[in-house]
Amino acid sequence: MSELDVFGRGFDGYEDLWRWSVTDLEGFWAKVWDHFEVRGSYDRVLGSAEMPGVEWFPGAELNYAEHMLDGADDDLAVVAHSQTRAKQSLTFGELADQVGRARAGLRRLGVSRGDRVAAYLPNIPETLVAFLACASLGAVWASCAPEFGARSVVDRFAQIEPTVLLAVGGYTYGAKEIGKSPEVAAIRAGLPSVRHVVGVPYGQYTVDADVSWPELLAEPGPPEFDRVPFAHPLYVLFSSGTTGLPKAIVHGHGGILLEHLKAHAFHLDTRPGDRLLWHTTTAWMMWNILVSGLLRRATVVLSDGNPQYPDLGAQWRLAAEAQVSLFGTSPAYLMACRAAGVEPGPCRSCGRWVSPGHRCPPKGSTGPPTGSESP
């Protein structure tokens, strides 16, 4: 049965489905809630439709992280490839155990509902664990990739006044070893709200910190989840900062949970057992989309480093090695591969490719797509 059949309506096509989704807001989103068996209850779908100030699912209490750890304990949740250290993997059971430990560690540091936790971390399992632990407490997450300089990070994090900062001391990017200890020190100095720095060891790199990652995870704790109102902040993303300071954009537990369930099931066609790869950093919203593949009990493939090292075909080889079934990438990468004559080659498992934005221009064309080639 198609995922769309669950709506119990005979759609004539995409336009018919889309029209229903935007004209019967309460009917559509109630069906999404019910189909994905969201834990919690609510009074009604739409409390107020007035903009600004629209109120979704008044009375609802839920937790995004609770739905991220639904896979069977022995099923593979995470595969992590890095140019800084050896490959790692976590089952859903192991991920839940680490989230419970990190939750207990954050509570020992005084983190509670509404507090902000900031991460200067790459796309590695520790980042995912810390994010889910933070969400489980009702604390608010924000992240920047370690390739950012200290000023760019402070411009973002200072707006939310985090109490805990997690950081790595460096990373490997292709053939380059990049130390970041001076940046971590400058970030801490620029964030007077920070009470604790948690140092995450990464390859040869460590951080001068109050607490180490192993210390944070030292004590076991059950992976419990504090249910929060639908609009309670889950994480803060930031705009690029091209027109002044980066703008802080708050996303709530309920909105992200329903939207990402819908997006993965109906837009990306993510299925239980899939392996999903999308090279991204923790500063881009695609990281948030990528890790939400766990909502569909898929395996998320994390990658950190230079995606074109040692050559343009590196991502295709990684996809083949990781047996990826859903591969996300950019139009620019696909165009570069085509121009260089790079073929997917051994990536036979990649049954589905996703590329946002414009379609690639016709072969032989140069420059961006024309208006007639836009989606």
**CA-closest candidate to residue 166, choices 110, 122, 223:** 122
3-state secondary structure 304-329: ECCCCCCCCCHHHHHHHHCCCCEEEC
Give CA–CA dist 338/49, Å, rounded.
Answer: 47
Tell me: pLDDT of 369 over 60: no
> What is the predicted pLDDT for the residue at 351?
62
Q: Which residues face 238 on adjacent strands? A: 248
From the centroid of its chain, how far is CA 353?
A: 18
Instruction: Identify the band that residue 213 occupies on the pLDDT scale cut at 50, 70 and 90.
Output: very high
34 membership: H or E segment, kind and range: helix 25-35
Dihedral sign from CA coordinates of 7, 10, 13, 15: negative
More confident residue, 6 or 223: 223
pLDDT at 338 over 80: yes
pLDDT tens-place string over residues 6-39? 676 778 888 888 899 999 999 999 999 999 999 9
pLDDT at 305: 97
pLDDT, tens only, 285-312? 999 999 999 999 999 999 999 999 999 9
So what's the pLDDT on residue 364? 40
What pLDDT does 334 receive? Answer: 86
Residue 81 and residue 304 in contact, taking contact as beta carbons nearer than 8 Å: yes
Q: CA 353 → CA 187, 260, 313, 338, 344, distances in Å? A: 38, 18, 15, 15, 11
Which has more confidence, 144 or 243?
144
Pairing mode, strands 196-199 and 211-212: parallel
Find out whether 227 and 40 touch, Cβ atoms under 8 Å: yes
Q: What is this structure's pTM?
A: 0.92
* Higher per-residue pLDDT: 231 or 345: 231
- What SS3 state is found at 251? strand
pLDDT confidence of residue 373: 31
Dihedral sign, Cα of residue 351, residue 262, residue 283, residue 62: negative
State the Cα–Cα distance between residues 187 and 373, nearest whole angstrom. Answer: 44
DSSP for 42-82, please give it: -S-SEEE--SSS-EESTT-EE-HHHHHT-S-TTSEEEEEEE
Cβ atoms of 229 and 60 within 8 Å: the answer is yes
Give per-residue pLDDT as tens, 245-283: 999 999 999 999 999 999 999 899 999 999 999 999 999
Closest C-alpha among 285, 242, 235 to residue 152: 242
d(CA 65, CA 286): 18
pLDDT, tens digit, for every residue of 34-64? Answer: 999 999 889 999 999 999 989 999 999 999 9
Predicted confidence (pLDDT) per residue in 160-180, tens digit:
999 999 999 999 999 999 999
pLDDT of residue 44: 95
pLDDT value, residue 349: 57
Return d(Cα 318, Cα 308) in angstroms, integer: 11
Residue 372 pLDDT exceeds 70: no
**Quick check: 143 pLDDT over 60?**
yes
179 forms beta bridges with 170
> Could you read off the pLDDT of 178-203 as tens digits, one per residue?
999 999 999 999 999 999 999 999 99
Q: Read off the tokens for 168.
A: 């790595």
> CA-to-CA distance for 216 and 98, rounded, in angstroms?
10
pLDDT value, residue 189: 98
Task: Return the ∠ at Cα 263 (arms to 61 and 302), rounded to 5°.
Answer: 95
**Helix or strand (DSSP H, E) at 136:** helix 125-136
Q: What is the per-residue pLDDT for 113? A: 98
Residue 108, SS3? helix
The per-residue pLDDT for 241 is: 86
pLDDT in the model for residue 303? 97
